[in-house]
Structures are given as structure tokens and as C-alpha cells.
């Protein structure tokens, strides 16, 4: 999944970016509010991590307010100084979905981000689950019927998580490419077909459906009704 990080501290950006990349996320970083607000209008971001204490003429709070005025539903975790309770209150009232005080531990950020993505896709369990298929994100395992566990490669993990978070919605190859690779990579779109083929071999052919001319979707119980 592609995450937008808006934070002016280069060292913190580097730390967050490296940690989330290791957890299977693709991260775009911007250091200034106006540019971040514009990037956040793009539909390919799954969530944003937004520092409220941005310098310049467009604070993090104003970025968030603009998104919500434009009915932009992008899930947002705000970052704020540990003792600044007023900023936390203002952020939540402006439309943030969660907040994290600085300093923080990276595993907590990852845990909150995963939970936010599940909530935004109406997944209430601690693990992503569709029918008999469960994705154990911390262990990067797919669990099938009969508690059979399947180890996934980094790309297979990203692909399956993206499909599961989108439920029965069709996702184009171009969109999947956006969520699997960062801007420095320039893979051919055919690599998506390769990853889908390999993932199907591991979890079963029936889980990933091809919608000819449009992309792929995950089988869900609702799709059979």
C-alpha cells in the first residue's frame, strides 16, 4: 500500500520511510504543507501520516482541514508533540482518524497504521481476513482453511494485502504497480501478472479473479451473492 508522509524533519522522515518500507509499504515523502495537501488529493494513497507542526504558510492542521472540506476521505494519522494535547484535540476535530505523540516507537506507528487501514476497509478483526483466507501481517503469512500457513515473498505479501484491503473491488494492474513499487523503480506492468501467477500457486487459483480488460479482484463471499 502507498502511504503519504508529510513531515519536515529529514531524519524522522528517513527513519519512518525505512521502517515502513521494511514492513511492506511504499512511502512518498514531502516536507511542506502545500505540496503535501496537493499530493494527498491523488487517489492512489491508502493513508497519510501528517505532522501538525509543519513550517511555512500551510500547517498540518490546515492541510487536514482542506482535505476534509473537499470531502477527501483519506485516512490520516497525525503526529504531534507529546505534551501538546490541544493539537491532538484540534487534529481529531478537524477530521484525523488517529494520532501519535512524539517521540514514538516505530512498531507502534506500524500497528496504528495497520489498524487504520483495516478500519477504513471495514475490517474489524486484528488480522486481515476474507472467508477462509487470513493474512498475518506481522509474520507475513497467509493462513488458509485447516490452519495451513503459506510463507509469502515481499511482493506477494504486498499484493495480497492490497487485494484483501480492497475486498470485492476490481484493481487495475496500473494501480497495483503503484502500491507495490516506489518511484525509483520502473518495472514493466507485466510483472504484476507474474506476481499474481505466483501468488495463485501458493494460496489457490480461486482466490484471485481476473476481470478481463480491467484488472484483478479478490474472491469474497459477497461476490457469490
pLDDT of res. 122: 62
For the domain bounded by 2-120, which CATH number is listed? 3.40.50.2300
State the Cα angle at 208 between 203 and 214, rounded to 5°: 160
pLDDT of res. 83: 66
Lowest mean pLDDT segment, chosen from 78-87, 109-118, 196-205: 78-87
Rounded to whole angstroms, what are the CA distances from 20 to 38, 111, 125, 216, 224?
A: 22, 11, 21, 25, 35
The 10s digit of each residue's pLDDT in 46-91 is 999 999 888 878 899 999 999 999 999 999 999 988 667 787 788 8
Question: Start-end ranges of CATH 1.10.10.10 in the chain?
Answer: 128-224
Residue range 128-224 forms a domain whose CATH class is mainly alpha
Q: How many CB atoms lie within 10 A of CB 79?
A: 24
The pTM assigned to this predicted structure is: 0.82
The 10s digit of each residue's pLDDT in 121-153 is 765 556 788 888 999 988 889 999 888 999 999
The answer to whether residue 20 scores a pLDDT higher than 80 is: yes
Cα 128 to chain centroid distance, Å, stands at 13
Q: How many CB atoms lie within 10 A of CB 14?
A: 11
Amino acid at each position: 500500500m502507498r502511504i503519504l508522509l508529510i513531515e519536515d524533519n529529514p531524519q524522522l522522515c528517513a527513519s519512518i520511510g525505512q521502517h515502513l518500507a521494511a514492513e511492506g509499504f511504499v512511502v512518498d515523502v514531502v516536507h511542506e504543507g502545500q505540496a503535501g495537501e496537493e499530493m494527498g488529493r491523488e487517489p492512489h494513497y491508502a493513508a497519510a501520516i501528517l505532522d501538525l507542526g509543519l513550517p511555512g504558510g500551510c500547517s498540518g492542521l490546515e492541510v487536514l482541514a482542506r482535505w476534509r472540506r473537499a470531502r477527501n476521505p483519506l485516512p490520516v494519522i497525525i503526529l504531534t508533540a507529546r505534551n501538546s494535547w490541544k493539537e491532538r484535540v484540534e487534529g481529531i476535530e478537524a477530521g484525523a482518524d488517529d494520532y501519535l505523540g512524539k517521540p514514538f516507537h516505530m512498531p507502534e506507528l506500524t500497528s496504528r497504521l495497520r489498524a487504520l487501514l483495516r478500519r477504513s476497509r471495514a475490517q474489524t478483526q486484528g488480522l486481515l481476513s476474507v472467508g477462509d483466507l487470513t493474512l498475518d501481517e506481522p509474520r507475513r503469512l497467509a493462513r488458509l482453511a485447516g490452519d495451513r500457513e503459506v510463507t509469502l515473498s515481499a511482493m506477494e505479501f504486498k499484493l495480497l494485502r492490497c487485494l484483501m484491503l480492497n475486498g470485492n473491488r476490481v484493481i487495475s494492474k496500473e494501480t497495483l504497480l503503484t502500491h507495490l513499487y516506489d518511484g525509483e523503480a520502473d518495472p514493466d506492468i507485466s510483472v504484476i501478472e507474474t506476481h499474481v501467477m505466483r501468488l495463485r500457486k501458493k494460496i489457490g487459483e480461486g482466490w484471485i479473479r481476473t476481470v478481463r480488460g480491467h484488472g484483478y479482484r479478490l474472491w469474497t463471499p459477497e461476490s457469490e451473492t
